[in-house]
Amino acid sequence: MLLPLLAACGSSDDDKADSGPVLPVETYYNNGIDALNAKRYDSAISQFNKVEQNYPFSSWAPSAELMAAYGLYLQNHYAESLTALGRYIQLHPASRDIAYAYYLRALCYYEQIVDISRDQKGTQDAMAALQEVVNRFPGTAYARDARLKIDLCRDHLAGKEMDIGRWYENQHMYTAAIGRFQRVVDDYQTTNQVPEALHRLVEIYLILGLKDEAKRTAAVLGYNYPGNIWYADTFDQLRNDDLVKGAPVPSDVGGPGFFSRAWHSIF
């Protein structure tokens, strides 16, 4: 009988603490910041929520709402953080911290990107949210970081296309494989996946006996990525098929940024 009595006493004490006097707004807020710094995220969120509960119309309330969303983000509670950030953006569109709110929302999507073996809708959602940061706040540090993350997202999506393309190629489904590799070349020109995509296209063209297409694609690869390992492998394949002689010649011209110009000049 003693254990229930003790539990009841503990519950009563907690209720009294919760129903105690309301503290000044800055006390709740500073307590929340201290808890965040100490990585006591649940306590931090509780303190920020008390700002909203007890001082909903104060100038502290919007900041507390945003910091609570940040606490959820630090706990990897991305869905809850997105809900809180959506509410903040809707209620405080003119806030001085609105750029950070959009950026934090984009980070919530970005942190949920999965490996290329799984569906990439999360990557596309992250790209859209990051692009919104760039479009709305182009001159900010948030936009600069968002651009870098967009490039990483694009490389990730290109990697997914390459993964599917390689599977098609291994299954001897060459038309489908060409479509995937060509999409990387056309839609993801600035990613690190392009050299391999061009190499795989040459590889398939040689299998199919399309020697002219193989030579043209290899020329694009050599022009843009003369020192790349995929170009060296491609050159070896062409040489084995007696389509070229000697060794690959390095070029001083080119680079990923020249890709479109090279493609159009060759064709």
Is the pLDDT assigned to residue 14 strictly greater than 90? no
Residue 203 parent element (H or E): helix 194-207
Do the Cβ atoms of 202 and 171 come closer than 8 Å? no
- Under the banding of pLDDT at 50, 70 and 90, the label for residue 7 is very low
pLDDT of residue 248: 67
What is the pTM for the complete model shown? 0.79
170-193 pLDDT, tens digit each: 999 999 999 999 999 999 999 999
CA distance between the termini of the chain: 89
Q: What is the pLDDT of residue 250?
A: 54
CA distance 169 to 172: 5
Mean pLDDT of 12-40: 79
Distance, CA of 97 to CA of 29 (rounded, Å): 16
pLDDT for residue 249 is more than 70: no
Q: How far apart are CA 267 and CA 250, in angstroms?
A: 21
In this prediction, residue 242 carries a pLDDT of 85
pLDDT at 108 exceeding the cut of 70: yes
Output the pLDDT for position 184. Answer: 97
Q: Which of 56, 33, 58, 59 is nearest to 46 (CA)?
A: 33
d(CA 206, CA 210): 6
Packing angle of the helix pair 211-224, 259-266 (nearest 10 deg) = 150
**Band (259; pLDDT cuts 50, 70, 90):** very low
Q: How confident is the model at residue 265 (pLDDT cuts 50, 70, 90)?
A: very low
Q: Which residue from 243, 253, 176 is spatially nearest to 209, judged by alpha carbons? A: 243
Q: What would the 3-class secondary structure string for 69-136 be?
A: HHHHHHCCCHHHHHHHHHHHHHHCCCCCCHHHHHHHHHHHHHCCCCCCCCCCHHHHHHHHHHHHHHHH
Q: What local confidence, expressed as pLDDT, does residue 201 receive?
A: 98
Average pLDDT over residues 113-139: 95
Q: What pLDDT does residue 153 have?
A: 96
- Of 78-92, 113-127, 150-164, 250-264, which range is least confident? 250-264
> How many CA atoms lie within 13 Å of 125's alpha carbon, on the beta-carbon side?
14
Q: Which is higher by pLDDT, 229 or 249?
A: 229
